[in-house]
Amino acid sequence: MNILLIKPETVGIFSYTYLVEHEPLEMEYLYTVFTAMGHHAVIYDRRYELTSMKKKIREVNPDVICVTGYITQQKLVHRYCDVIKAYRSEIQIILGGSNVEINYENYFDSKADYLYHLSGLENQKKLIRYIEQEKNRGSASVNGKTENSTGNKKECGIGNDCTTSVGETEELRLEDIAGICYRKDGEWVVNPKVVESPADLPIPDRTHFYKNMKHFRYLCFKPLALVKNSYSCRKKCNFCFCTNRNSGHYACRSVESLVDEIASLNVPAIHITDDDFLIDEDYLREFIRLIKEKDIHKEYLIYGRADFIAHHEELMKELAGIGLKLIMVGLEATSEEELDSYNKKVTVSENEECIRILHENDIFCAGLFIVHPGMTKEDFKKLYDWIASRDIIPTVSVFTPMQGSAMYKKYEDQMINRDVTKQDLFHCLLQPEHMSVRQFTREYHKLSLRLAFKNRKSKLYSKNNYFGAMLYIVKVLFVKLKRQIVL
């Protein structure tokens, strides 16, 4: 079969900057497994490929189209489905990605044929084999689905053998494929999830990456490759969306497989995408040992927690010695009360110690902070003073009850804006207690601009071409206008 893999264009403020752009790793994984199955797969990254969707469909002539996307791209993905089905209704559409995994019900009113709400690929392969099986039977309608019917959710049980390997010639049934949603008799059927492990992932084919590596970067780290090492997270911060992935079960690859993939990459910088790479001291020491043993010389970007860093100073020094250059740390707040409200289980003193250790080991502390509706103008000023007086390259987000996080139900009825495109951590979605939404937004923007100006000479931004950035904004505006007319 021909399979088109669509990575949607960026939605929101980040679409106007090329400071951070990651490779479409999820699509590279799909490309890898589908081509290994004998299919012809094509990655279509709309962040920089300007070919219209209809033209791309004509070129590839796909039997199946897979689309991924974040919650901010949810409306855009719905629109994709409308355009695809209007152009050629027999194309089978599979939606996946983090938002579908957690919030699959948000797509019950789309024209998608299947929703894939798992992180792994084994059941995705089964689904593709099922579609191929039905195609070979000459069936244009798969399992009696009714197009454009939203229906109601109907739970479906799966036998214990649903996670076992299905032979290429074995008859497949939709009800035996874990982690998918599909329509049957006008209703959505939701097959249960299974817990998976990233150890089952193949080494991704990076052909697409190497052809387009000039696009992929994180500030001064370019070109930058992504390496996926785990699912979910052991910690349970109540604002975090990702901790509920893989049904809330943390699973990690072996150190050997991680280091082998890193060694295979012809790129200077690696972002290990774990929500928290600093989980286990023994794991990290083995990681350091193998990197040295294989004589690997690269720079690393990771996410990590302040409490681990604060209590493992010597280990952080050793990680810096093998190339660790930047840690994105959720510092979040400057008071114990606020940290407790987020269920961080970290103290202010641990945050302070973390900042010191990273600075002394020449590791960028990319500190992540949250501004919340209870803040006054004075609180914004105090936050600026606290950050500005420390060795931090900050990113400040607005407190957002993200759908799929533990806190969402608590704040759902209080949200003043339910537009999912605004769940980007940069919009005020709850009524501020001490000022209007406009005033709160103004204070937030002022804080962000002051911090950006203070850190303008940081080495992180040393390779930025500001004239080129202005031209890029003009280009994005032109492309957005064009795509309003021709998607």
Tell me: do 57 and 186 sit in the same domain.
yes
Neighbours of 331 (CB within 10 A): 27
Tell me: do 185 and 262 sit in the same domain.
no
**How far is the C-alpha of 240 from the C-alpha of 408, rounded, in Å?**
10
Tell me: do 186 and 254 sit in the same domain.
no
Tell me: do 226 and 183 sit in the same domain.
no
In terms of residue numbers, what domain contains 398?
A: 216-455
The total of structural domains in the chain comes to 2
Contact yes or no for 428/398 (Cβ under 8 A): yes
**How far is the C-alpha of 135 from the C-alpha of 295, rounded, in Å?**
49
- Residue 62 falls inside a structural domain: yes
**How far is the C-alpha of 260 from the C-alpha of 203, rounded, in Å?**
9
C-alpha distances (whole Å) from 234 to each of 61, 68, 90, 304, 344 are 43, 25, 42, 12, 12
- Judge whether residue 441 has pLDDT over 60: yes
**How far is the C-alpha of 177 from the C-alpha of 166, rounded, in Å?**
10
Q: What CATH number is associated with residue 96?
A: 3.40.50.280
- Of all helices (H) and strands (E), which one includes residue 29? helix 25-36
Candidate from 72-81, 153-162, 238-247, 401-410 with smallest mean pLDDT: 153-162
Tell me: do 278 and 167 sit in the same domain.
no
- Residue 467 falls inside a structural domain: no
- Residue 293 falls inside a structural domain: yes
- Summarize the confidence of residues 165-191 as an average pLDDT: 86
CB burial class (10 A; 0-12, 13-18, 19+) of residue 472? middle
Q: What CATH number is associated with residue 451?
A: 3.20.20.70
Tell me: do 166 and 237 sit in the same domain.
no
Quick check: helix, strand or coil at residue 231? strand
- Residue 161 falls inside a structural domain: yes
Tell me: do 311 and 380 sit in the same domain.
yes
Candidate from 243-247, 363-367, 467-471 with smallest mean pLDDT: 467-471
DSSP one-letter code for 10: P
**How far is the C-alpha of 368 from the C-alpha of 103, rounded, in Å?**
25
pTM, rounded to two decimals: 0.88
- Residue 84 falls inside a structural domain: yes
Across 360-370, b (16+ Cβ under 10 Å) vs e yields ebebbbbbbbb
- Judge whether residue 316 has pLDDT over 80: yes
Average confidence score pLDDT of the chain = 89
DSSP one-letter code for 65: E
- Residue 177 falls inside a structural domain: yes
